[in-house]
Amino acid sequence: MWKVLRRGSIFVLSVMPVVACSPSASGPNRPPVASAGPDLSAKMGTELVLDGSASYDPDGTPMEKLSFEWSVAVAPAGGEASIEGRSKPVARLVPDATGVWMVRLVVSDGELSDEDVAAIRVFGCSTDADCDNGLFCDGQETCSNGDCVAGSPPCGGNCDEQHDRCEDCGNGKLDAGEDCEPQLGDHCCDPSTCQWVAERQTDPQGICYSDNSCIASLCNGSGKCKPYSLTDGTPCGPGSCSGGDWVVPV
């Protein structure tokens, strides 16, 4: 670039260098953006996929040239599970304790890094069957809001785990923890546990009775007899049941 300068009565011609930007020139390095994926909720023991594939580098560094590092930032009491594939964009975790887990993902381009955290709520059950320990004497466990709740012992006194029954049941008196006592004339009473039998079960004492062959008198779950119509089409002598009545084909 040429430029004319005047110094008094003398003109000076000077040459000024021009610096041009190269097409390959780049700005300062920017850190990548880490994404640990959405928060999750799962049952304990379920394999979870930790997906960090939405992470990226605003400078255009390919995914395969970025480094990934997963770690468990927070684990609930008793949680010792580790992350499988912790140096990959997509990793896996099998939680071994209920509660809230926090997993951290750090993504680096070799110079700068970024991190993100995802929360995982782990519950212990989804149905009562998940909580059943198979024991009789400690009662029926239930599932409430994702956690197992201990049952109430069915026997007021001694309990026979081997035969799934209360040893004091049938002694002729209503003991603590018992719904009923067969020897006191309580019908719909399970003689092995002194508890009411479930709804639609046959009365163990045989007191519930119906003279209609299409209506069964069964226990209602709380010690009473209740009539229940047999399913339509149930065979009954030369005919079948329909709406609780006996129907003879024409």
Residue 15 has pLDDT above 80, yes or no: no
Q: Is 161 helix (H, G, I), strand (E, B) or coil?
A: coil
- Amino acid 159: pLDDT: 84
Query: Residue 106 carries which DSSP code?
Result: E
Instruction: Answer for the pair 72, 94: CB distance below 8 angstroms, yes or no.
Output: no
pTM of the predicted model as reported, rounded to 2 decimal places:
0.53
- Amino acid 1: pLDDT: 53
Distance CA 157, CA 180 (A): 14
- Amino acid 193: pLDDT: 83
- Amino acid 23: pLDDT: 47
Distance CA 129, CA 146 (A): 12
Cβ within 8 Å of residue 34, ≥6 positions away: 52, 55, 105, 106, 107, 113, 114, 115, 116
Q: How many percent of the chain have pLDDT more than 70?
A: 88
Residue 248 has pLDDT above 50, yes or no: yes
Binned at pLDDT 50, 70 and 90, residue 190 comes out as very high
Residue 16 has pLDDT above 70, yes or no: no
Domains in the chain and their CATH numbers?
A: 40-123 (2.60.40.10), 159-250 (no CATH)
Residue 161 has pLDDT above 90, yes or no: no
β-bridge pairing 165-166 and 159-160: antiparallel
Residue-wise DSSP of 61-96: --GGGSEEEEEEEE--TT-----BTTTSSEEEE---
Of 63-72, 209-218, 229-238, the range with the highest mean pLDDT is: 63-72
Q: What is the CB-side half-sphere exposure of residue 174 using CA atoms within 13 A?
A: 10
Average pLDDT of the residues of the chain: 87
Residue 6 has pLDDT above 90, yes or no: no
